[in-house]
Amino acid sequence: MSSFETVTVSILGKEYQVNCPKDDSAALKKAVEYLNKKMNETKQNSNAIGMDRIAIMTALNLADDLLRKDIHVSKITAEKNELSNQLNMQTTIIDSLSNKIENAMEKFEKRKRS
């Protein structure tokens, strides 16, 4: 069981104390760095004033990005499944043809010996 630690993070110049498992502190810091970058982008690219408004606008943008990526992943997964099905069908056809060739070769060899 991992122990917890308090990590001080800074978002838009304001410091926050966050408790997290010691094993997750590096991931937390990376997430905070990403969030801080996105909040700064929102602050610079919009008329949002105030930390709450910037946070809400950033959350909406991140949610939109996540949903778009989720849709993209779903499409890629569907394409992968379709290609996998096609590959399985082609493998079945190849196996069938291989069996027919082997059978034909056996018949040929039998006739040749007779």
Q: How far is CA 104 from the centre of its chain?
A: 48
Cα–Cα nearest to 26, from 7, 54, 13, 1: 7
| One pLDDT digit (tens) per residue for the chain, 114 residues | 569 999 999 999 999 999 999 999 999 999 999 999 999 999 999 888 899 999 999 999 999 999 999 999 999 999 999 999 999 999 999 999 999 999 999 999 988 887
> What pLDDT is stored for residue 1 in this prediction?
56
Residues 79-87: contacts with CB within 8 Å, 24+ apart?
none
| pTM of the predicted model as reported, rounded to 2 decimal places | 0.70
Alpha-helix residue ranges (DSSP H) falling in 18-50: 25-45
4-113 classified as CATH 3.30.160.880: yes
> What pLDDT is stored for residue 71 in this prediction?
98
φ, ψ of residue 77 in degrees (nearest 5): -65, -40
Q: Please state the domain extents for the chain.
A: 4-113
Tens digits of per-residue pLDDT, 16-33? 999 999 999 999 999 999
